[in-house]
Amino acid sequence: MRLRAPSPFPLVAGVALAIVLAFLAIPLVAVFVDVPPGDLLRALDDPSARDALRLSLETSLMALGLIIALGTPAAWLLATRRFRGRAVLLTLVELPLVVPPAVAGIALLAALGPQGLFGGALADLGIELVLQRAGVVVALTFVASPFYIRQAVAAFESVDRRLLEAARTLGAGEARTFLRVAVPLARPGLLAGAALAWGRALGEFGATLMFAGSFRGVTQTASLAIYERFATDFTAALALSAVLVAASAAILLMTKLAMVGSEELHGAQR
């Protein structure tokens, strides 16, 4: 019997993987090695750089708090109900994922700007968003919320229905079942969604620039500060970039750990 010749496909796939890894990893590594560490640390001594980093952290955490507080019950409703128009609602939730950031900023101006659909109502209430720190939070919430809500919907859908029904049989209302049973069981998926949303908010650029502007100490986040320094102080831009790369890596690691916990939980349920 003639032996079949080894397929060259594994070798081709391995070469493709090596090219992909090199293409994705080398630019990120270059952020840390292109400039000596001492120069990077000195660049971070700039008060405006520290202000930008602090503003990014504060506004992204505020946005994350809003996303979790409103997105968790909304995701529960989408996950546990089947009704006409549900697919349309899910599409609306996911739409900011594919809308260009600049378009998202224009959309926020059209809705919440001084001349927008709700601009007059907000002005009557004494609420200012455009070119304000609150506007940064709004922009981050808009672009990052779909990452959490979609993941939360999937997490709630994966919870064993029998456990929820058992809680209801024992007399727990829907609110108690949601808080005491569904949220703990879906926690790994919720944490993964929160990590993804936080990472997206931390790196947001276009919508924030269009809606809130870039004023040092007021609305200039780390991403906007990188853009401002790109042409005049490349070392400072690299320093801020290195911080964001490290933060993004930490958030991604949190996501992976949460996903591992989710898989272990599902295995225990089965």
What percent of the chain stands above pLDDT 70? Answer: 93
CB 193 within 8 A of CB 94: no
Question: Amino acid identity of 214?
Answer: S
Query: Is residue 32 in a domain?
Result: no
* DSSP notation for 110-153: HHHSTTSTTHHHHHHTT---TTSHHHHHHHHHHHHHHHHHHHHH
The answer to whether the CB of 235 falls within 8 A of the CB of 43 is yes
**Does 80 fall in a domain?**
yes
Containing structural domain, residue 105: 40-269
pLDDT over 90, % of the chain: 52
User: Of 58 and 5, which is predicted with more confidence?
Assistant: 58
Count of C-beta atoms within a 10 Å radius of residue 184: 12
Number of domains, the chain: 1
CATH at residue 51: 1.10.3720.10
Alpha-carbon dihedral sign for residues 84, 86, 89, 91 = negative
The two tokens of residue 133 are 């720190």
**Integer-rounded Cα radius of gyration of the chain:** 23
What pLDDT sits at residue 263? 60
Residue with tokens 């940064």: 136
pLDDT of residue 34 exceeding 90, the answer is: no
Q: Is residue 212 part of a domain?
A: yes
Q: Is the per-residue pLDDT at 268 higher than 80?
A: no
Residue 1 is assigned to a structural domain of this protein: no
- Domain presence at residue 254: yes
Tokens of 80: 């546990």
CA 122 to chain centre: 27
- In this prediction the pTM is 0.86
Asked if residue 5 is part of any domain, the answer here is no
Q: Is the pLDDT of residue 265 over 60?
A: no
Is the residue at 170 inside a domain? Answer: yes
Structure confidence at residue 259 as a pLDDT band (50, 70, 90): low
Buried b (16+ CB within 10 A) or exposed e, 214-227: beeeebbbbbbbbb
Token readout for 161 is: 């229905």
Q: What is the mean pLDDT of the chain?
A: 88
> pLDDT band for position 73 (50/70/90)?
very high
The answer to whether residue 4 scores a pLDDT higher than 80 is no
pLDDT at 270 over 60: no
**170-184 mean pLDDT:** 87
- Reported as a pLDDT band with limits 50, 70 and 90, residue 153 is very high
- 216 touches 209 (CB < 8 A): no
Most confident of 146-150, 186-190, 246-250, 254-258: 146-150
User: What local confidence, expressed as pLDDT, does residue 44 receive?
Assistant: 78
Per the listing, tokens 């490349």 go with 234
Report CA 157 to chain centroid distance, whole Å. Answer: 21
Residue 3, pLDDT > 90, answer: no
Residue 15 lies in a domain: no
User: Over the stretch 98-130, which tens digit does the pLDDT of each residue have?
Assistant: 999 999 999 999 999 999 999 889 999 999 999
Task: Provide the 3-class DSSP secondary structure of residue 231.
Answer: coil
What is the band of 96 on the pLDDT scale with cuts at 50, 70, 90? Answer: very high
pLDDT of residue 233: 85
Question: Which sign, positive or negative, has the C-alpha torsion 198, 200, 206, 210?
Answer: negative
Cα separation of the two ends of the chain: 45
H or E segment and range at residue 266: helix 234-269
Categorize the per-residue pLDDT at 213 as very low, low, confident or very high, splitting at 50, 70 and 90: very high
> How much is the pLDDT for 243?
87
**Residues in the chain, total:** 270
Q: Which two tokens stand for residue 110?
A: 């059209």
pLDDT band at 247 (very low <50, low <70, confident <90, very high): confident
